[in-house]
Amino acid sequence: MNAVPKTKADEPSAQARYEARTREGATFSSFHVTPLRHNFHDHPLMQLPRIAQLAKELAKTEQCRFVTPGISQSSAFDHKPKSADGRDVDEVFRRLEEPNSWIALYHIETDPAYAGFLKEVVDSARDLIEAQQPDIFKVAGFMFLSAPPSVTPFHIDRENNLWLQIRGRKIMNVWDHRDRHVVEGKHVDNFICTGSLEHVNLKDGFRERSHEFDVGPGDGVYFPATSPHMTRTTTDWVRPGDGVSISMGVVFFTRHTYREANIHHCNVLLRKFGIEPKPPGSGRISDALKFAIGRTHVWIRKTFRGYKPSAGLHLP
């Protein structure tokens, strides 16, 4: 891919120091949902004209994604490489403040300048994270731009997430990744193995079990892998010239997520033998045994059956 060349405008000034930090009064845990504060919304690479440049390049490799108009938070999380109305990326950005406009930029780390930006974000929080989950790897970035009213449907991810609000406002709901009432263990196991969200659905009564954050520029949320989450934007904050919400997920794996992913694989295998396993974290000895079985099972499937495991199952 021909990435946009890095320019002087992309470089922070010598005096600028960008960081993500735990919000005052909150205690950071890499195993729990934690509110954050940051100043990355001031970074040169987070300004809308520069993001539009990035989107134009990513469109060439179908890294710009769109959702079907009229979706709700309970809709399937289905992104397509073409907009439903046929607009190209330039037109999407020209009309970005029109209600219900929505575009996502996938894997922005393929652009060298933005790969450096993602490293800045992770490095600013690395000491906090690696104190509990060593060995961060496979850092990736996803940006979401929308005009209210708009939503991101309910879903889960394989990675830990440093989620940052860059512009405008948004309401984010995040659930505890261990809440088996919200997503059953067998569906989490299956998602880790196959990527299927078929049975990961928002149902009545779930919202009340979540952490809800009304966020603006400089706010953020950290949440662990497989934490259910969704967002929505409302129109009450919109003003002329200020009608676009921009957020991004800076996602990554750790040695801990690698270990748990292998345990999820073992759980899927055990169910095939009629055994109902407990989720990761249920016991040190059982986790150690299931990790060994799961890792071996993944290796056999990859070596002899053509299975392509997720990036989180490849330690650097």
- 189-198 tens-digit pLDDT: 999 999 999 9
117 lies in a domain? Answer: yes
Q: Is 277 contained in some domain?
A: yes
Domain span at residue 273? Answer: 258-313
Domain match, 234 and 263 both? no
The domain boundary, picked from 202, 225, 253, lies at: 253
Task: Please report whether residue 208 resides in a domain.
Answer: yes
Q: Do 267 and 225 reside in the same domain of the chain?
A: no
pLDDT single digits (tens) 120-151: 999 999 999 999 999 999 999 999 999 999 99
Q: State mean pLDDT over 171-176.
A: 98
Average pLDDT over residues 32-58: 97
Lowest mean pLDDT among 75-89, 177-191, 229-243, 279-293: 75-89
159/215 same-domain check: yes
Both 207 and 126 in one domain: the answer is yes
* 123 and 216 together in one domain: yes
* Pair of tokens at residue 198: 């078929």
Q: What is the pLDDT of residue 77?
A: 84
Q: Are 106 and 63 in contact (CB under 8 A)?
A: yes
- Residues 100 and 115 reside in one and the same domain: yes
Q: How sure is the predictor about 177, in pLDDT bands with cuts at 50, 70 and 90?
A: very high
Residues in the chain: 316
Average pLDDT, the chain: 93
Q: What is the CATH number of the domain that holds 59?
A: 2.60.120.650
Q: What is the pLDDT of residue 10?
A: 65
Provide mean pLDDT across the span 45-54: 97
115 and 230 share one domain: yes
**The token pair that represents 101 in the structure block:** 């406009």
13 occurs within a structural domain: no
Query: Are 262 and 141 in a shared domain?
Result: no
- Dig out the tokens for 63 from the structure: 């890294």
Q: What would the mean pLDDT of 106-112 be, rounded to a whole number? A: 98
| Domain-located, residue 9 | no
| 236-289 tens-digit pLDDT | 999 988 999 999 999 999 999 999 999 999 999 999 999 999 999 999 999 999
Burial class (CB in 10 A: 0-12, 13-18, 19+), 177: buried
Pick the closest to residue 54 from 14, 97, 94, 93 (CA basis).
93
Q: Which amino acid is at 100?
A: N
Domain count within the chain:
2
Residues 213, 136: one domain?
Answer: yes
- Considering the domain architecture, whether residues 199 and 130 belong to the same structural domain is answered as yes
Q: Binning pLDDT at 50, 70 and 90, where does residue 78 land?
A: confident
Residues 266 and 249 both lie in one domain: no
Identify whether 220 is part of a domain.
yes
Q: Do 75 and 133 lie in a common domain?
A: yes
Lowest-pLDDT range, 88-92, 116-120, 164-168, 257-261? 88-92
- Within 8 A by CB and 6+ apart from 2, the residues are 57, 60
- Residue 172: inside a domain: yes
Predicted confidence at residue 70, as pLDDT, reads 84
Report percent pLDDT > 90 for the chain.
86
Domain assignment of residue 49, yes or no: yes
**Coil, helix or strand at residue 71:** coil
